[in-house]
Structure 1
């Protein structure tokens, strides 16, 4: 199985998510990774899900621990959610599906340009399918590592023990 977590951020302006064609995503992932995909949807608990998604998915909005969902997922599709930063530490495929990019940027803005974050930024469903089809693990890992360096991220497998050592707590 190949677990895909779709977890967009909450729209505090009341706008509604524009979902991609999840059946096409499932088909694309099945072809690319040669595994049976499972779709988990984690919209914000205050955001309504459309009733007509016409695909098989598990609604995990009420699951209490987002970190556990990230750990079990093989791929994350999100937008501007902070979950992308946690997921990036796992170096698993993450794609940004942002059909409302201009609107969101006009309302909220970003600290740094979104296209410098190391993820494919897809504004249309077709761009998302193309990004999944064209995913290359080595190039993706390089982009994520470059982003971590540029953001001065010091996270690594030994971060906690290194911090405790510096604090004299071993």
Structure 2
């Protein structure tokens, strides 16, 4: 029954007339590193632009009212001339143009590169334009999404313009009270495909020895967890040297996380693709991988061996984290390796990716 209803809805959507000059931006990441948000104001200068949070269109459906709301949203969505998304959304009206920005250079296995074929989307993706930052990112996404390279455009990710333009704001102003700012951003572990993909390392970071270390050196540790895992913080830390940066705090300041990211003197992460973008800052990175075996078996990686693609010390204990940070500031042995990978993953490094995507939209609108 669901299949029949979906085919009917898809047919209804395909019959919708297109409102010329209209753009729908489906927002899925703000304020945790949005690839669509930077496009809103530039595009609004010349076009009729609407921004919908993804949860207003795609949500769990249990009642008849839910399904009516969902179908109504799909029909409305199908009247825009251009749709821009960052999380692999299919268009239902072939008269539309779909631009997919994606939301990060992939390190981890996903979609068609998963071991479990039940995850594969039988319909595939019908995006018209896939925006990437390099030929290598295109290769990775083509393997994962089965989108032919003819649909790829290496224009750069709009979110990275924040890292290259660097403007102070009301949160980063607080950073000036410390000698160094360390940023801990772990990957999302507990939701993709309803799996638990590892243990995380927050306990290593909130260990008394690490807190003592950052206090002794007048460092600030900024912790940014995935929005769906922010409630997992159960430890109460009584020190001004640790800041938990939440979505609520970012929204209150009207900021995206990428407007903060460039201010960190060092990034601590694990398997999060954020470290690729952080390469544009030329600052050191430390990788915590104490659950590497479990993560590799459950999720897996696109780029192997892991050590070859992670330009920083790989550590598994609190003591090793401290030592790696100190060595990174004292001698920074991985600077040339970060530079090498930066040039592989980023064809453009000029802070003008937003403008290139806007130019593409303008070309599409003229056709």
Q: So what's the TM-score if we normalise by structure 1?
A: 0.77
1:18 aligns with 2:196: no
Distance in 2 between residues matched to 1:53 and 1:98, nearest whole Å: 23
Question: Which residue among 292, 295, 303 is the counterpart of 1:112?
Answer: 303
1:51 aligns with 2:242: no
Q: Contact 2:276–2:345 (CA<8 Å) still a contact in 1?
A: no
1:141 aligns with 2:319: no
Distance in 2 between residues matched to 1:39 and 1:152, nearest whole Å: 27
Distance in 1 between residues matched to 2:312 and 2:350, nearest whole Å: 22
Distance in 1 between residues matched to 2:285 and 2:238, nearest whole Å: 23
Deviation at 1:130, TM superposition (A): 2.0
Partner of 2:270: 79
Deviation at 1:116, TM superposition (A): 0.9
| Unaligned 5+ runs, structure 1 | none
Query: Structure 1's 159 and 45: CA in aligned 2 closer, same or farther, altered over 3 A?
Result: closer
CA RMSD, 1 decimal: 3.0
Query: Structure 1's 16 and 152: CA in aligned 2 closer, same or farther, altered over 3 A?
Result: closer
What do residues 51-75 of structure 1 show as CA deviations (whole Å, max 9, x unaligned)? 2456542111212522122112111
Higher helix share: 2
Partner of 1:3: 181
Deviation at 1:142, TM superposition (A): 0.2
1:40 aligns with 2:204: no
1:122 aligns with 2:309: no
Q: Contact 2:290–2:315 (CA<8 Å) still a contact in 1?
A: yes
Give the secondary structure class of the aligned counterpart of 1:89.
helix
1:89 aligns with 2:283: no
Deviation at 1:140, TM superposition (A): 1.9
Deviation at 1:143, TM superposition (A): 1.1
Deviation at 1:152, TM superposition (A): 4.9
Deviation at 1:46, TM superposition (A): 1.3
Q: Moved runs in structure 1, 4+ residues, more than 6 A?
A: none
| Unaligned 5+ runs, structure 2 | 1-177, 361-367
Query: Structure 1's 155 and 96: CA in aligned 2 closer, same or farther, altered over 3 A?
Result: farther
Number of aligned residue pairs: 161
